[in-house]
Amino acid sequence: MKRLATLDASWLAVDSEDTPMHVGTMQIFSVPEGAPETFLRDVVERMKAQREVAKPWCYKLSYPGNLGRLIAPKWKIDDDIDLDYHVRHSALPRPGSERELGVLISRLHSNRLDFSRPLWECHIIEGLENNRFALYTKMHHSLIDGISGVRLMQRVLSTDPNETNMLPPWAVRPDQLRASKDDDEASIAAAVSHALDALKLQADMAPRLWGAASRLINSVRHPEDELTAPFTGPVSLLNHRVTGQRRFATQHYQMERIRKLAKVAHGSLNDIVLYLCGTALRRFLTEQGELPETSLTAGIPVSIRPADDQNTGNQISFMIASLATDEADPLTRLQDIKNSTKKAKEHLQKLPKAALTQYTMMLMSPYILQLVTGMGGRMRPVFNVTISNVPGPSQALYYEGAKLEAMYPVSLIAHGGALNITCLSYDGSLNFGYTGCRDTLPSMQKLAVYTGEALDELESLLMPDAASNTEAPESRAPAKA
Amino acid sequence: MKRLATLDASWLAVDSEDTPMHVGTMQIFSVPEGAPETFLRDVVERMKAQREVAKPWCYKLSYPGNLGRLIAPKWKIDDDIDLDYHVRHSALPRPGSERELGVLISRLHSNRLDFSRPLWECHIIEGLENNRFALYTKMHHSLIDGISGVRLMQRVLSTDPNETNMLPPWAVRPDQLRASKDDDEASIAAAVSHALDALKLQADMAPRLWGAASRLINSVRHPEDELTAPFTGPVSLLNHRVTGQRRFATQHYQMERIRKLAKVAHGSLNDIVLYLCGTALRRFLTEQGELPETSLTAGIPVSIRPADDQNTGNQISFMIASLATDEADPLTRLQDIKNSTKKAKEHLQKLPKAALTQYTMMLMSPYILQLVTGMGGRMRPVFNVTISNVPGPSQALYYEGAKLEAMYPVSLIAHGGALNITCLSYDGSLNFGYTGCRDTLPSMQKLAVYTGEALDELESLLMPDAASNTEAPESRAPAKA
């Protein structure tokens, strides 16, 4: 039996009907050309025949004594896994477009995991139009974080389209995992983990930490006027308590389009992503008469090289930037966002390593506390929306000869933060996954559509000649739920 | 706001992850011949366009004050129902046989309802082989009981294959419901309700009732030796605590086959049903080395005419009969079952009306208490398995021209009773629905198959000449999960 880390245990403690704490990955594959009619069924059968279950897929919770979930749960290895329960073959109703897929993923992501079994499900979904299928895998956040989940699913795949008899996700042993270029990524979970390392947080220290963090934050003297501080975002539609049902939507664009815009705008790729999200959010909230007077803020995990450190590479930190949703003019909005991220990054980059670590901890602590105590939505938000931009594989990947066409994280949301946007690059495209609370965001698919329209608009503003030639064939109708 | 009846409220109180208290109906339809490719999508669109939601579909729970679920919940009318949430278009993976359907129904029936919304879901399922589709509707037991749910879904249908533009289930107002021949049916829920009427049970009387019922049961002097008393069944595999996941399987046979057997055996239709279930259970438990030495007992709702009442028709009562699972010889087993049901019925029929009511209450009380207190599986079972046999519509029914081919109740199970078998007659066939606990009954589909094989065997024993000619084309592979 393996003891759960304190933080992992807290994801269990905060899991509830309204805030199920699992994370997912959705992958879309093309059936190989010339494959037999039975291709997918054969794949499912081969997958299910592989009954050896590796870590962490074989872990289930064990509660020594009768003291309930909060008291020191442990992981134990389940050597009698009901694989027919965990591995599920599903189908989409016709026409099987991204829309029907989004609806199904939303439903599946809304269902809680069964806590008496290993905390994962793997759904193989047939009937996606243009001879494609999808794989949706969910796992509890106490076992894995969202980006590590994406990595886990990615490492099951091969760069070789001719490789066959591949292992199913649950049978790939950690030591067989294809090496990742960098395990330390600018994800929310990594930032949380760095923040906690800095503090050696124990669950019973939480009240003391809360006080310390509040004092620290109040005492911060920002040298730059334009630095966006925590707790300065408005209390928006996105920052109340959430309910248990989810929506999921997707968009993907050619990376080249984003890259060109970043170059012309003298900004970073991330600035363009923030601009697209901010612009879509501004329109979305305006239409509902819910646009706050002050700008929404985004919490963004970043990878930073400390000022005094030339050797050990980057460190994960966290920044808060303005989305300039209070600015009506698109180009001024872009400029505001660029200024905000520039100031935030400069601020981080000036910090020596020790201070950077402490600063990250200070900035993240209230967010972490809102998460693990479930207090989010009952206090002022630390920031309004989480936007992550994570680099993914640059080469095409395959499973049993089926090409991976796109890959999206399906995130968790928590009280006080009804929307999560995570972008993942893959093989020349940028994949946007929107995870939201069903009741808070009844027309979330519009937000996804507006992101695409913001991209078209920015192109026509910054590159008026080029934009007229762009047909944007890869900008699909969004998956909606 | 409408106050919940005490019993209805108790279904909410006992609802848990392990024992979700909803009941379902599964209906299978054929797409009309010559219908366009888009038939089902059009039906779903037409259904969803009907946004007027009738009672009880529009009721949602309201908890005045902050005292949690147990404290006096009320029904209030939800006038802003998110119909896209409740009405779900799904599909089966290929080949879309009864097996894939059973797997999907099992999953859907395992998911709990969202208590912040009206307590129902309606799933339209495409991709069932031979150009068929299915409708699975679930509703919380605090709103409806299983058989009333079947009736509700039945009354939405028409006997006219040419009727179109029909209302979806949730839009049929109670006063528009086609009249049923008899609202007082021999179902578990009706027996429970009669038992409670007799006692005017209040939730706070439960402890007193428990004592009274125990005394009554202990004091019963059965005049006949062969009368099967409550609490005399063994503690079998079926009678422990249950976990939250379900299995669902189906079988259907020509009613004519059962009727002929009943005639040749000088027994009732119900005797044959009990024989088939008992025989299948005996084989199923034997294979697992779990056959108890003494016979399993079944709890069976029955419709009885009291001895002193020539006018008011039948009354619902309850009997406990032996399934003779301890008897190896098939014909002796049938004889034992016939004796047991005969004695039980004679006993009931001799009772005057007042005593019958009291007897029903006495017999049902421990069962009701095990249900509503969630104590089942922690004490000796009142009986081992519930088997209901409910008469359904004798004519073919249609929805938007699509013929209803079969209809099955999907029941709830509770601690102490991991299996429910409910049979429903429809248009010349008898439809068996098996609902079980996934973990307790890992090969429940075998139980369904064995029922069919028990039918074949009994025919060859009782009608050796006729049986060799029977090809039983309607005995399909069971839906499995």
- What is the model's pLDDT at position A476? 46
Measured between alpha carbons, how far is A146 from A432 in angstroms, rounded to an integer?
14
- For the stretch A77-113, pLDDT in tens is 999 999 999 999 999 999 999 999 999 999 999 999 9
Q: Virtual CA dihedral for B177, B178, B180, B184, nearest 10 degrees?
A: 10
Question: What is the arithmetic mean of pLDDT over A29-50?
Answer: 95
**pTM of the predicted model, to two decimals?**
0.79
Q: Which of B92, B243, B442 sits opposite A91 (nearest CB)?
A: B92
Q: What is the pLDDT of residue A93?
A: 96
Q: B388 pLDDT exceeds 50? A: yes
pLDDT at A267 over 50: yes
What is the predicted pLDDT for the residue at B404?
97
CA–CA gap between residue A109 and residue A120 (Å, rounded): 11
**CB of B187 within 8 A of CB of B300?**
no
Task: Name which of A41, A92, A439 is nearest B91 (Cβ-Cβ).
Answer: A92
Question: What is the reported pLDDT for A206?
Answer: 45
Q: Do B126 and A93 touch (CB under 8 A)?
A: yes
Q: Which amino acid is at B284?
A: F
Residue B239 has pLDDT above 60, yes or no: yes
Tell me the average pLDDT of chain A. 82
Among residues B9, B480, B17, the alpha carbon closest in space to that of B241 is found at B17
Judged against a pLDDT cut of 50, whether residue B69 lies above it is answered with: no
Distance CA B200, CA B433 (A): 32
Contact criterion met (CB < 8 Å) for A93 and B90 = yes
Q: What are phi and psi of A11, to 5 degrees?
A: -65, -30
Largest CA distance in chain B: 70
Reported as type and span, the H/E element at residue B22 is strand B22-30
Asked if the Cβ–Cβ distance from B438 to A41 is below 8 Å, we say no
Compute the mean pLDDT over every residue in chain B, rounded to the nearest whole number.
82
> Helix (H) and strand (E) counts for chain B?
13, 15
- What are the residue numbers of the active site of A? 141
Of A91, A100, A243, the CB nearest to B93: A91
What gap in Å lies between CA B407 and CA B387, rounded to an integer? 17
B93 HSE (CA, 13 A, CB side): 21
By the 8 A CB rule, do B112 and B92 touch?
no
Instruction: Quick: pLDDT tens for A416-450.
Output: 889 999 999 999 999 999 999 999 998 999 999 99
Question: Are the C-beta atoms of B306 and B332 separated by less than 8 Å?
Answer: no
pLDDT at A222: 46
**What is the pLDDT averaged over residues B131-147?**
89
Task: Check if B2-171 and B205-395+406-468 are the same fold.
Answer: yes
Indicate the pLDDT class of residue A477, thresholds 50, 70 and 90: very low
Quick: pLDDT tens for A52-62: 999 889 999 88
Segment A122-136 mean pLDDT: 97
pLDDT of residue A203: 40
> Quick one: pLDDT at residue A143?
85
Could B92 and A92 be called an inter-chain contact, meaning their C-beta atoms sit closer than 8 Å? no
Q: Which of B13, B83, B97 is closest to B45 using CA atoms?
A: B83
Question: Residue B471 has what pLDDT?
Answer: 47
- Judging contacts by C-beta atoms under 8 Å, the chain B residues touching residue A103 are 89
What 3-state DSSP class applies to B136?
Answer: strand
Lowest mean pLDDT among A343-347, A467-471, B225-229: A467-471
Q: Residue A93: which of B91, B94, B245 has the nearest Cβ?
A: B91
pLDDT at B366: 62
pLDDT at position A210? 46
Q: Predicted confidence band at A472 (pLDDT cuts at 50, 70, 90)? A: very low
Sheet with B132-140: strands ordered across: A398-399, A402-410, A22-30, A132-140, A120-128, A87-91, B87-91, B120-128, B132-140, B22-30, B402-410, B398-399
Instruction: Find, among B226, B229, B321, the residue nearest to B278 by Cα.
Output: B321
Query: Mean pLDDT across the stretch A74-78?
Result: 89
**Eight-class DSSP state of B417:** B
How far A91 CA lies from chain B's nearest CA (Å)? Answer: 5
Neighboring chain B residues of A243 at a CB cutoff of 8 Å? 116
Min Cα–Cα distance to chain B from A273, Å: 31
pLDDT reported for residue B310: 62
pLDDT confidence bin for A213, thresholds 50/70/90: very low
- Six-digit token string for A85: 């329960």
CA B272, CA B259: separation in Å to the nearest integer? Answer: 9
Give the pLDDT confidence score for residue B304 in this predicted structure: 77
**DSSP notation for B159-206:** S-TT--SPPPGGG--GGGSPPPS-S--SSHHHHHHHHHHHHT--GGGH
pLDDT tens, A276-308? Answer: 999 999 999 999 999 999 999 998 888 777 777
Question: Across residues A356-382, what is the average pLDDT?
Answer: 67
Q: pLDDT at residue A133 above 80?
A: yes
Exposed, middle or buried: residue B49 (CB in 10 Å: 0-12, 13-18, 19+)? Answer: exposed
Residue A74: what pLDDT? 82
Choice among B141, B194, B240, B252 that is catalytic: B141
What integer is the mean pLDDT of B46-56?
91
Residue A218, exposed/middle/buried by CB under 10 A (0-12, 13-18, 19+)?
Answer: exposed
CATH level 3 topology of A205-395+406-468: Chloramphenicol Acetyltransferase (3.30.559)
- Which chain A residue shows the shortest CA-CA distance from B242? A116
Residues of A in contact with B41 (CB under 8 A): 93-94
Asked if pLDDT for residue A384 goes beyond 80, the answer is yes
SS (H, E, C) chain A: CEECCHHHHHHHHHCCCCCCCEEEEEEEEECCCCCCCCHHHHHHHHHHHCCCCCCCCCEEEECCCCCCCCCCCEEEECCCCCHHHHEEEEECCCCCCHHHHHHHHHHHHHCCCCCCCCCEEEEEEEEECCCEEEEEEEEECCCCCHHHHHHHHHHCCECCCCCCCCCCHHHCCHHHCCCCCCCCCCCHHHHHHHHHHHHCCCHHHHHHHHHHHHHHHHHCCCCCCCCCCCCCCCCCHHHCCCCCCEEEEEEEEEHHHHHHHHHHCCCCHHHHHHHHHHHHHHHHHHHCCCCCCCCCEEEEEEEECCCCCCCCCCEEEEEEEECCCCCCCHHHHHHHHHHHHHHHHHHHHHCCHHHHHHHHHHHHHHHHHHHHHCCCCCCCCCCCEEEEEECCCCCCCEECCEEEEEEEEECCCECCECEEEEEEEECCEEEEEEEEECCCCCCHHHHHHHHHHHHHHHHHHHCHHHHCCCCCCCCCCCCCC
- pLDDT score, position A134: 98
The alpha carbon torsion through B333, B337, B338, B340 (nearest 10 deg) reads: 140
Q: Do B114 and A245 touch (CB under 8 A)?
A: yes
Across the range A116-136, mean pLDDT stands at 96
Q: Which of B38, B114, B122, B131 to mutate to test the interface with A (most CBs of A within 10 A)?
A: B114
Q: What integer pLDDT is reported at residue A201 of this predicted model?
A: 43
Alpha-carbon gap: A442 to the closest alpha carbon of chain B (Å): 9
Read off the DSSP letter of residue B239: G
Q: Which of B44, B69, B84, B121 to mutate to test the interface with A (most CBs of A within 10 A)?
A: B84
Chain B residues close to A90, C-beta within 8 Å:
91, 93, 104
What is the nearest CA distance from A92 to chain B, expressed in angstroms? 5
The whole-angstrom distance between residue B107's C-alpha and the CA centroid of its chain comes to: 18
Contact assignment for A94 to B93 by CB distance below 8 Å: no
pLDDT mean over B21-46: 94
Which of B336, B307, B306, B308 is CA-nearest to residue B323?
B336
pLDDT of res. B49: 93
Burial degree of B58 (CB within 10 A; 0-12, 13-18, 19+): middle
Q: Which of A107, A109, A121 to mutate to test the interface with B (most CBs of B within 10 A)?
A: A107
pLDDT digits (tens, 9 = 90+) for B173-229: 765 443 333 445 677 777 776 666 655 443 444 444 444 444 444 444 444 456 676
Give the CATH superfamily of A2-171.
Answer: Chloramphenicol acetyltransferase-like domain (3.30.559.10)
pLDDT in tens, B203-219: 444 444 444 444 444 44
List chain A domain ranges.
2-171, 205-395+406-468
Q: Which two tokens stand for residue B110?
A: 């395992």
Model confidence over B338-364: pLDDT tens digits? 999 998 888 777 777 766 666 676 666
**CB contacts, 8 Å: A88 with chain B:** 107
Q: What single letter denotes the amino acid at residue A188?
A: I
pLDDT score for A359: 66
Range of lowest pLDDT (A21-35, A146-160, B269-283, B387-401): A146-160
Of A94, A104, A126, the CB nearest to B41: A94
CA dihedral A153, A159, A164, A165 (to 10 degrees): -40
pLDDT at A376 > cutoff 50: yes
CB atoms within 10 A of CB A227: 18
